[in-house]
Amino acid sequence: MNHKLLCLLAVLISATPSWAQENPVEEALKKEGAMPTLPVSAAKDGKEFTAEFVNKAIDSFDNMHWQMAGDHALYYNMHMSELMPTGIASPNYDYKPLERDLRPELENLKTTTGKGELTLKEYAVHPQFRLQAMIFIYKGKVVYETYPGMKRTDRKVWASAAKSSAGLVMAMLEQEGKVDLSKPVVEYVPTLKGTVWDDVTVASVLNMTTGLDNEETAEAIMNPDSAVVRFFATGLIPAYKPRETQDTWVDAARAEKKIQGEKQGELFRYASINTQVLTQLIENVENKKWTQVFEDRVWSKVYARQPAFFNIAPGGLALPVGLLSTTPEDMARFATLFTPSWKAVASKQIVTDDLLKAIRSGADPARYKNASKRKSSMGAFNEFAMGNAYQFDYVFEDGAIAKSGNMNQMIYMDPKRDFAAIALSSSPYHSGFGETKAPAYMRLAAKALAGE
């Protein structure tokens, strides 16, 4: 799927490859609704979302237009269930409000940004960062919250932060002995047999170290003939439009090639198709559709306000690769499952100590040291993560884990400090936008609350 794919988009505006007459991003930005001219507060009051605006947005909906994170994407991100088939995972019957213990002093936390040193209070409403919601939870209680770009009850796409849901379920299946990470992934996903996936282990797919040429780089994203672009084209298909391609994600996966001279396990190369393969693996092992698996194993235990919405790709496979939508509070509830205060948000412990240990121990600094995500950890958190594992981009030495998403989403869990946080944004990676420091404030808040 096509999330977090624009991590290098800032360079695309000035780079035109030899095979292209015009930069595809420049071309995409010419389309009405592609540029972010509306403030994110427009999504909160809804006045700009007239019938005419929405109809134009719907008519223009496609992958590239959405990825520009412009005015139309501000609408898409909160109404994806109107655009694509949607699976619904129901929450626990008993809704339980989150308790509040607001700490106003957290608004005074400071960090350096591209706009100078800003307090959290200043950052949250700064138009440069296009933050829509942010929540901090400490010891099971909300200690900070802000909603500059959406209502509390609105749903929003998590983008690739949603991959954490697939990573969690994979960890559960491994703990239960239902999946052996050392086995070739084709033993669980036989539709990929007879291809380069034959000797790729489940562990390599889980940790994105397959050695296949499918990394979401700037060059690959700009090349219409790349494996990345071919895969993207199979997923984000509007329900009301005829498909422009008959390819499925399986066709895209079967056509992939190995990187010459690179062994699997050597380097973390971010590729969303890995999550799609894992989703199929999970459905095959559980003999249930993904949405039902997630409901049975996770969401039915969570005291959430609303269902979790997963959009569905052509062919019927759900997209936890990125198209998961919930309210900000419900996303924060999911994050809190990874902390000692899980009882505040769920009827049953879902993320056990053994499961957390597996995720932490799965992080290998050797495969991470030259990965682009390591560099991005410093940009976002102001410190380097030490590894990745189980679909989580960032695993820190102190045990904190996090997953980012396109347009600057973030989900962060810090079990040691009993802290969890989320940030939802609609920020493009072009035209001077793209920086996020929400993760840095998360780390600062967790340490401050722990007295560090």
In tens, the pLDDT along 362-379 reads 999 999 999 989 999 999
The whole-angstrom separation of Cα 115 and Cα 92 is 43
Q: Are residues 119 and 64 in the same domain?
A: no
Tokens describing residue 263: 């062994």
| Pair 21, 143 in one domain | no
User: Domain for residue 26, yes or no?
Assistant: yes
In-domain check, residue 346: yes
The confidence band for 14, taking pLDDT boundaries of 50, 70 and 90, is very low
What is the pLDDT averaged over residues 267-289? Answer: 97
Query: Residue 93: inside a domain, yes or no?
Result: no
Residue 145 lies in a domain: yes
Region of poorest pLDDT, from 11-20, 126-135, 400-409: 11-20
Query: Does residue 74 surpass a pLDDT of 80?
Result: yes
- The secondary structure element, H or E, covering residue 157 is strand 156-157
> Can you tell me the distance from the alpha carbon of 67 to that of 6, in angstroms, rounded to the nearest whole number?
8
Q: Are 175 and 336 in contact (CB under 8 A)?
A: no
Query: Which pLDDT band, with edges at 50, 70 and 90, does 161 fall under?
Result: very high
The owner of tokens 């409000």 is 97
**Which residues, other chains included, contact 396 with Cβ-Cβ below 8 Å and sequence gap of 6+?**
383, 385, 386, 402
Predicted local distance difference test score (pLDDT) of residue 222: 59
Nearest C-alpha neighbor of 318 from the set 300, 298, 292: 292
Domain check: are 157 and 254 in the same one? no
Q: Are residues 178 and 149 in the same domain?
A: no
Q: What is the pLDDT of residue 11?
A: 34
Residues near 319 by beta carbon (within 8 Å), at least 6 away in sequence: 1, 162, 235, 276, 279, 310, 311, 312, 313
In a domain, residue 36? The reply is: yes
The reported pLDDT for the residue numbered 234 is 80
Task: Mark whether 214 and 195 lie in a shared domain.
Answer: yes
Q: Confirm if 252 and 230 have CB atoms less than 8 A apart.
A: yes
Distance CA 394, CA 372 (A): 11
Closest to 391 in 3D by CA, of 245, 224, 284, 279: 279
Q: Please identify, among 52, 85, 118, the residue that sits at the C-terminal boundary of a domain.
A: 85
Residue 300 lies in a domain: no
Residues 270 and 161 in one domain: no
Query: pLDDT, tens digit, for every residue of 206-254?
Result: 999 999 999 987 677 656 677 877 887 787 777 666 666 678 899 999 9
- How far apart (Å, rounded) are the C-alpha atoms in residues 263 and 92? 44
Is the pTM higher than 0.85? The answer reads yes
Query: Is 1 within the bounds of a domain?
Result: no
Are 341 and 250 members of one domain?
no
What's the total number of domains in the chain? 3
Same domain? For 346 and 426 the reply is yes
**Pairing between β-strand 308-311 and β-strand 324-326 as defined by DSSP bridges:** antiparallel
Same domain, 358 and 417: yes
Is the per-residue pLDDT at 13 higher than 70? Answer: no
Q: Give Cβ neighbours of residue 225 (< 8 Å, ≥ 6 apart).
A: none
Quick one: CA torsion of 218, 224, 230, 234, rounded to 10 degrees? Answer: 100
Query: Residue 433 pLDDT > 50, yes or no?
Result: yes
* CATH (domain of 414): 3.40.710.10
Whether 339 and 421 share a structural domain: yes
Mean of the pLDDT values across residues 123-135?
Answer: 98
Q: What band does 9 get if pLDDT is binned at 50, 70 and 90?
A: very low
Same domain, 325 and 445: yes
Answer yes or no: is 307 within a domain: no
Same-domain pairing of 80 and 173: no
Mean pLDDT for 262-267 is 95
Does the pLDDT at position 198 exceed 60?
Answer: yes
| CB 332 within 8 Å of CB 421 | yes
* Domain final residue pick, 60, 85, 110: 85
Query: What is the rounded end-to-end Cα distance, in angstroms, of the chain?
Result: 39
**Can you read off the two tokens belonging to residue 126?**
């700064």
125 backbone φψ class: left, alpha, beta (φ>0; ψ -120 to 50): alpha
Residue 2: the pLDDT is 37
- Res 20 pLDDT > 60: no
Q: How sure is the predictor about 90, in pLDDT bands with cuts at 50, 70 and 90? A: very high
The CATH number of residue 264's host domain is 1.20.58.710
- Confidence grade of residue 18 (pLDDT, cut at 50, 70, 90): very low
DSSP 299-319: GGGB--SSPEEEEB-TTS-B-
Enter the DSSP assignment of 9. Answer: G
- Give the residue with greater pLDDT, 12 vs 205: 205
Enter the tokens of residue 157.
């796409």
pLDDT category at 36 given cuts 50, 70, 90 is very high
Domain boundary residue, one of 63, 85, 107? 85
Domain span at 147? 99-165+319-449
